[in-house]
């Protein structure tokens, strides 16, 4: 019986593939750009003398996303830093415990309780000090993979046809380093803002200012719909303007010749970056401090994946011969709610020993398993 058991185990390993997989699979070819595209919750640290420089994080990723047909014999794991964060990652050393398991449940069934997300094959593959080097912000995506952390024993990841999910559970307590080591991170699409054309820094009011700031809410851009507004700052005090909304902008022009240079009209260095199929929606009046806010608008649910654009035009007779100044234009993307087929559960600081954490569905740090 013992010989037969050994024989079967050897066959299983012989049939397993050696290679590498990127988790989630989307970041093998596409940079995460939704904000935030990085997380500090995997290698969390702090300068506080009362908060532990520690974290526990759990990535639950559906096996169907791994893309390996045969079982994979995993022997190490690696991370990479995000592109576009703008700061450097300091060198850090941490005492790490990494536990891998395969659950029969999908990531959609994950809970905030760490223990309930484990599968039956829970295995500690790292239980030692590991180090990550100082790393500057990279100019192009993807950032290089950091040197992989070797496992103390191989871990067999079953084929995608097995269903269920892979659970990557890391607990770490840093011994050197005074700030978190940020890693790349995929976020569910909850909507957001991006600039539609350049900031109008040369399109100035007669007082020398320009629309140099925005404050807004993106809560209304989520798939379920909600309320949206934007407030414009840096305006000429008490100036009157109008706001245009459109389904078209500089990255989605339709038949509009966007951006439309307003210099020939006499508004030097000004441009109009949206279409006019929706048109101008009422007047705005700037306050004495140079701010103006749109009315709060309700965005209907069910528009996930679509976008709209806004831009203001302000009337200032002394600004230029056209007497108009264009404001900062934005693209407002309405979220789909979709992300990676995963869940991310984490607890940081003094809570890293807690049985439960915060869970985000559709979120996933970037890992390379090989």
Over residues 128-147, the pLDDT tens digits come to: 999 999 988 888 999 999 99
Count of C-beta atoms within a 10 Å radius of residue 181: 25
Whether the per-residue pLDDT at 192 is higher than 80: the answer is yes
Whether the per-residue pLDDT at 215 is higher than 60: the answer is yes
At 186, list the tokens: 């995929």
DSSP letter for 137, please. Answer: P
pLDDT averaged over every residue in the chain: 91
* Span 10-35, average pLDDT: 74
Whether the per-residue pLDDT at 268 is higher than 70: the answer is yes
CA-CA distance, 76 to 184, in Å (whole number)? 18
Least Cα distance to 45 among 57, 34, 54 occurs for: 54
- pLDDT class of 16 with cuts at 50, 70, 90: very low
- CA-CA-CA-CA torsion sign (136, 139, 145, 147): negative
Residue 17, pLDDT score: 56
- pLDDT class of 18 with cuts at 50, 70, 90: low
CA-CA distance, 67 to 105, in Å (whole number)? 18
CATH 2.60.40 domain extents, the chain: 192-333
Cα-flanking dihedrals φ and ψ of residue 15, to 5°?
Answer: -80, -10
**Of residues 88 and 23, which shows the higher confidence score?**
23
Residue 135, pLDDT score: 87
* Span 86-92, average pLDDT: 88
Any bridge partners for residue 314, and if so which? 241, 325
- CA-CA-CA-CA torsion sign (37, 88, 84, 269): positive
Residue 11, pLDDT score: 31
Total residue count of the chain as it appears in this document: 370
Distances in whole angstroms, Cα of residue 257 to Cα of each of 294, 307, 328, 333: 26, 19, 18, 21
Cβ burial of 29 (10 Å; 0-12, 13-18, 19+) is exposed
The domain 192-333 having CATH identifier 2.60.40: the answer here is: yes
Please, how many CA atoms are within 13 Å of residue 120, restricted to the half-sphere of its CB? 3
Residue 5, pLDDT score: 33
Least Cα distance to 305 among 249, 218, 221 occurs for: 221
- pLDDT class of 2 with cuts at 50, 70, 90: very low
Whether the per-residue pLDDT at 277 is higher than 50: the answer is yes
pLDDT in tens, 224-242: 888 999 999 999 999 999 9
Distances in whole angstroms, Cα of residue 25 to Cα of each of 20, 134, 176, 230, 315: 11, 26, 32, 35, 50
pLDDT in tens, 287-339: 999 999 999 988 888 899 999 999 999 999 999 999 999 999 999 999 998 89
| 234 close to 212: Cβ distance less than 8 angstroms | yes
Residue 8, pLDDT score: 31
């Amino acid at each position: 019986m013992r010989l037969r058991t050994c024989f079967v185990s050897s066959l299983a390993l012989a049939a397993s593939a050696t290679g590498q997989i990127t988790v989630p699979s989307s970041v093998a070819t596409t940079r995460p750009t939704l904000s935030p595209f990085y997380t500090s919750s995997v290698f969390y640290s702090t300068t506080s003398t009362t908060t532990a420089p520690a974290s526990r994080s759990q990535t639950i990723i559906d096996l169907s996303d791994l893309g390996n047909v045969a079982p994979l014999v995993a022997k190490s794991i690696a991370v990479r830093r995000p592109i576009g964060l703008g700061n450097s990652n300091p060198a850090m050393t941490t005492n790490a415990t990494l536990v891998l398991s395969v659950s029969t449940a999908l990531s959609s069934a994950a809970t905030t309780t760490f223990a309930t997300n484990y599968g039956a094959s829970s295995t500690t593959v790292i239980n030692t000090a590991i180090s990550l080097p100082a790393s500057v912000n990279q100019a192009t995506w993807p950032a290089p993979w950091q040197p992989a952390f070797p496992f103390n024993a191989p871990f067999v990841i079953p084929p995608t046809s097995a269903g269920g999910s892979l659970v990557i559970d890391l607990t770490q307590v840093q011994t050197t380093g005074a700030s978190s080591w940020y890693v790349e991170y995929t976020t569910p699409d909850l909507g957001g803002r991006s600039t539609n054309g350049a900031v109008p820094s040369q399109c100035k009011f007669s007082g020398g200012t320009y629309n140099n700031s925005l404050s807004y809410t993106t809560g209304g851009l989520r798939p379920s719909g909600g309320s949206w507004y934007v407030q414009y700052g840096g305006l000429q005090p008490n100036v009157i303007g109008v706001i245009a909304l459109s389904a078209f902008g500089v990255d989605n022009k339709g038949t509009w010749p966007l951006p439309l240079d307003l210099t020939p009209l006499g508004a030097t260095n000004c441009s109009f970056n949206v279409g006019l199929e929706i048109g101008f929606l009422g007047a705005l009046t700037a306050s004495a401090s140079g701010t103006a806010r749109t009315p709060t608008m309700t965005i209907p649910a069910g528009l996930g994946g679509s976008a709209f654009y806004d831009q203001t035009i302000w009337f200032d007779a002394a600004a230029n011969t056209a007497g108009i100044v264009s404001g900062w234009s934005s693209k407002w993307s309405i979220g789909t709610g979709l992300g990676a087929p995963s869940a991310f559960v984490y607890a940081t600081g003094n809570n890293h020993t807690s049985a439960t954490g915060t869970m985000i569905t559709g979120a996933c740090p970037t890992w390379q398993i090989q």
